[in-house]
Structure formats: structure tokens, C-alpha cells
Amino acid sequence: MFRRLIVGVAVCLSGVAMAKPPSGTAFCSTYPSAPVCTGQQPACTYCHVAPPQRNAFGASLEPHLAPGASRPLSDSDFAAALPWALKAVEAEDADGDGVSNLVEIQRGTLPADPTSVPVDTGRCQAGENPQYDVCRYDARFAYKRLLLDFCGVPPTYAQLKEFSALSADDQRARMDAELDRCTTSEFWRGKNGQLWKLAHPKIRPVGSLKAGEDAGTIPLADYYDDYALYAYAQLDDHDAREVMTAKYFVSRETNPTRYSVVPTRPTQSVDELHRAGNITSRWSLIYFVMFTALPRNAASQAYRAYLGLDIAKQEGLFSVPGEPRDYDAKGVDAPACAACHATLDPLSYPFRNYEGLSFPRNPEVPWASYVPGRIEKRFGNASPIITQMPESGYLFGQPVDNLVEWAEVGANSDAFAIAAVTDYWKLLVGHPPTAEEHAEFVTTWKRFKGTHQYRVQRMLHDLIRTEAYGAP
């Protein structure tokens, strides 16, 4: 919900594909202050079960969308009709939960989900919990939670007693100091620590294919390099964007764990000019590119892992006119698939010259490296037009010349900041941001991107002061 998404029926499913890219823009121009329009647009599931099947809210809109006009509506006609249809159903209660569609839109809950309803605050009564103030932010509760989350140990009775005796300002100072201390701990930064847990879905380790330390049976690449770069970018006063843009590598020392920048590593192959952080690591190229000419899987994984957008869930769809061209003759220009691939294929073109695996091995096309003319050398006969595939592409509908530029545009986007803060929100608060937490969440990711210049350590000091974190 808290991602930059495009509403619309843009799908790669059997049946008729109906793409309405203007939907998100039209919705957010109608309700610019709606929580789902702050730094993102609502997902397809706002109006659909699985496009083109409408949910209860989408079904309520349908009769009001240019009634009498011939179908299918053009994008321009749809965009013009949607605001009127939205206004027409504001007073209705599509999901029957007792809350009108308009109130749900304004409060950030889902008008098609009866389990998603606004929660009124202020119901607490004094004395309900003698240990904590369950109505508001409680510094003692936040302090105890902080030590568990960042150090992995609860405070002792003596620590809690000492903390309780401090003034409010001194309590805040103590919590800041403890956060900084705990983020140097093995629990936070060590192998399989908290930061490594955050990295798991981005790296997607497979033990049987691991090289180096803890090697598997088919040692193809050492993904501990990827964990090291991810952790380094999250720590101290480092720039979190460099997980996508770094030209360097990171080595890891143990006992205690330390991460340090190195210009080269024997386990990595991409030359400095073409590096884009973990997107171009040996593991990423071997595992996500593998044997493919057009590395759609590598592009969609980077989009999902670092920008929080999952094309398989119809998220982050920015259709490019004239796409997909279907350079590799996979049938992606068929009506049932074109809407997804109008975003995915231009997203993937910048990966064209990055090799994954090849058998038999060709010394002219080394594994996990940047190979000019890779398509021509390896896949020239795969389809009649495959050599016409460009290296330039699109990200968020914006032209990019190559993968390095792709990574820079992505790392500087709202999507990156939202995805990064969402990771920590889920780790520390325990769930994705809820509608009630929306305002605090937006403030946190905007300060992470602006005031804190993508420094995670600084952002965490903000996060531990939110009510979402510190209210029992």
C-alpha cells in the first residue's frame, strides 16, 4: 500500500488484457491528500481482485464510468470519467463495513476490504496498564524494545530503574546512545544478524551454489560479498543508495565484524565502469541472469528488492509507448501479456550486456561480467530482430542509457526511500505501516531522503521516536 504503484488493469494473465495506466493519476488528482497518494499511487488491488476482475469497490464504480459510451474506453476517456465515478460512489459503503468509501479513502483504509477499517484512537483509560502508558508514546517501553531489537537482550531491572529516574531529555539522550552502541553489536551487524536478515529477500541465497566460506556442492558465486555491501551501506554514516550504485566492493572481517571498502575482489568480475552495486554482483548476474538473452528476471528482482515494486503483483507499471517489441520472440507482445511487458521489457534492456552463465564456456564471454555485444556473440540467431535490442531503456517511465544510469535513477527515487524505510518498519515495528501509522511513516521516509540524505543510522533515531514504535 505504501509504494509508488499504478492502478489499472495491467496484467499478464490469460484472458483479455486491459491496461488503464491513467487510473492512478486520475485517482490521486481527485484525492491528492489520500494516504495512498503520498509518494506513490494505489495498487491494482484497490479496485481489482486480479485484473480484470473487479472487487466490490471497482464494481461500484463501473456503472458510473461514462455510461452509454462504447467499450473499451480509451485511456483519455477513462481518465476523464474516473473522477466523476469516484465522486458518485463516495457516500456508498462498497464493502459493507459501516464506513463510507470517501472516509476509507481519506483515512487510508481499503474501501473493498471489510477487515480494513479506520481505527479511532483515544479509547484508552488511565490505569488500564500500571507498567506503561498504553495511550501514548512511553519512553520506558521504547527503551526496553530498543535493547531487544538492536542488541538482542532485554534491559536489566537496574537499567530500567535508572532509566525511569532520568528526565525526559536525558531519556531521549540515553536511547540515542544505546541505539548507536547496539548497532555496533554482532547481533545487529554480524553474520546472520539483523541486517543480514533484511538482506535475505534481496540476495535470495542458495547454499548449494555458494562459493567461498560455507561453500555448497556447486560453488558458482560467493553471495557473502552481497551481504557485506548491503550491511556496509546501512551502517554508520554511509549512504544507503550505494547498495545499488557502488563502484567498490566490501570485505568483511570477523571477531568483531568489520566491513571495509576495497576496489577489487577476486570473487567479482564486472569492471568498475559498469558496476552498479549489488545489482551487478557475481551472485546477482549468475543467479538472476543465468542463461537468458533478455534478463527480465534480473530486472524484476532489482525492481522488487531495492525499489519495493513487484511487477508480478501489477505494481510499478509505467507502460512505454511502442513496447514490448518482443526482441527475443517469447510472445510477450500477445494481448494477454503486453501490458506487463510494456514496463518490464524496457526495464530489462539495460541488462542486455551483462552475462550470467554460458555452456560451454566461451572465453570471449566470461561469466558474471559486462560483455559488449553479448547478444550478438551469444544469441545472434535466437530471433530475427534480437540484435536490434537496445541497451537503453526506461525506469519509472524515464529514459535511461544503461544499467548504471538505471541504478542511479532508482536509488534517488521516492520508491527507494519508501522501500528502505518499510524494511526497517517491518523489522522494528513488526508489520508494514498501517493506515493509522501513515503520517509518521511518510515523515520518516521523507526525512530519510531529504534531511538525513539516505543515512540509515540517522533515520533510525527518528523511527524509535514514532508512536508506532514506542506506544505499547
Using one digit for the tens of pLDDT, what is the confidence trace for 327-342? 999 999 998 888 889 9
Residue 10 has pLDDT above 70, yes or no: no
- Average pLDDT for residues 8-28, to the nearest whole number? 51
**Model confidence band, residue 454 (pLDDT cutoffs 50, 70, 90):** very high
Low-confidence winner among 38-42, 379-383, 465-469 (lowest mean pLDDT):
38-42
Q: How confident is the model at residue 382 (pLDDT cuts 50, 70, 90)?
A: very high
Interacting residues of 325 by C-beta distance below 8 A, sequence separation 6+? 333, 345, 385, 388, 389
Asked if 365 contacts 293 with a C-beta cutoff of 8 angstroms, the reply is no
Side-chain-side CA neighbours of 3 within 13 Å: the count stands at 29
Q: Which of 40-49, 142-151, 266-275, 372-381 has the lowest mean pLDDT?
A: 40-49
Residues in contact with 47: Cβ distance below 8 Å, sequence separation at least 6, in sequence order: 7, 23, 54, 55, 57, 58, 61, 112
Query: Buried (b) or exposed (e) across 388-421, using 16+ Cβ within 10 A?
Result: ebebebbbbeeebebbbbbbbbbbebbbbbbbbb
- Average pLDDT of every residue of the chain: 89
Please state, for a pLDDT cut of 90, what percent of the chain lies above it: 66
Phi and psi for 112 in degrees, rounded to 5?
A: -110, 5
Higher per-residue pLDDT: 317 or 5: 317
* Residue 378 cell numbers, joined: 551469444
Poorest-confidence range of 13-22, 140-149, 364-373?
13-22
Please name the residue that has the C-alpha cell 480484470: 52
What confidence category does residue 78 fall into, taking pLDDT thresholds of 50, 70 and 90?
Answer: confident
pLDDT recorded at residue 71: 78
Asked if 409 and 395 touch (Cβ cutoff 8 Å), the reply is yes
Question: Is 110 in contact with 46 (CB distance < 8 Å)?
Answer: yes
What distance in Å separates the CA atoms of residue 259 and residue 238, rounded to the nearest whole number? 11
Q: Count Cβ atoms below 10 Å from residue 372 Cβ, excluding itself.
A: 9
Whether pLDDT at 183 is above 80: yes
Domain boundaries defined on the chain: 23-107, 139-182, 183-411, 414-470
> For residues 206 and 283, what is the distance between their CA atoms, to the nearest angstrom?
10
pLDDT at residue number 136: 87
Which is nearest to 314 in space by CA: 10, 16, 42? Answer: 10
42 and 24 Cβ atoms separated by less than 8 Å: yes
pLDDT: which is higher, 219 or 73: 219
Which amino acid makes up residue 415? A
Q: How far is it, in rounded angstroms, from Cα 449 to Cα 447?
A: 5
Residue 51, pLDDT score:
59
Average pLDDT (91-97) is 89
- Is the pLDDT at 365 greater than 90? The verdict is no
First to last CA, the chain: 24
Count other C-beta atoms under 10 Å from residue 122's C-beta. Answer: 5
Lowest mean pLDDT among 12-21, 52-61, 106-115, 280-289: 12-21
Can you give the pLDDT at residue 81? 85
**Rounded distance, CA 222 to CA 215, Å?**
8
Give the pTM.
Answer: 0.86
- Provide the 3-class DSSP secondary structure of residue 211: coil
Q: Taking residues 33-54, what's their average pLDDT?
A: 74
pLDDT exceeds 90 at position 471:
yes
CA distance 4 to 11: 17
Q: What is the pLDDT of residue 204?
A: 97
Give the whole-angstrom CA distance, residue 356 versus residue 298. 10
> Greater confidence, 336 or 157?
157
| pLDDT the model gives residue 130 | 56
257, 261, 266, 268: CA torsion to nearest 10: 100
Amino acid at 84: W
* pLDDT beyond 80 at 3: no
Pick from 48-62, 94-108, 301-315: least confident: 48-62
What does the alpha-carbon distance between residue 180 and residue 132 come to, in Å, rounded to a whole number? 25
Q: Is it the case that residue 232 has pLDDT exceeding 90? A: yes
Residue 301 above 80 pLDDT? yes
State yes or no: pLDDT of 411 exceeds 50.
Answer: yes
Of 75-79, 265-269, 376-380, 431-435, give the lowest mean pLDDT range: 75-79
Where does the pLDDT of residue 435 fall: very low under 50, low under 70, confident under 90, or very high at 90 and above? confident
- 150 pLDDT more than 80: yes
- Residue 181 DSSP SS3: helix
Residue 98, pLDDT > 60, answer yes
* CB-CB contact of 10 with 314 (8 Å): yes
Q: State how far Cα 262 lies from the chain centre.
A: 27
Angstrom CA distances, 126 to 57, 119, 131, 134, 383, stand at 39, 19, 11, 9, 72
**Higher-pLDDT residue of 9, 149:** 149
Enumerate residues 6+ apart whose C-beta is below 8 A from 155. 143, 144, 147, 163
Q: How far apart are CA 163 and CA 154, in angstroms?
A: 13
Q: Does the pLDDT at position 306 exceed 50?
A: yes
Q: How far apart are CA 269 and CA 444, in angstroms?
A: 37
Tell me which residue has cell 479496485. Answer: 47
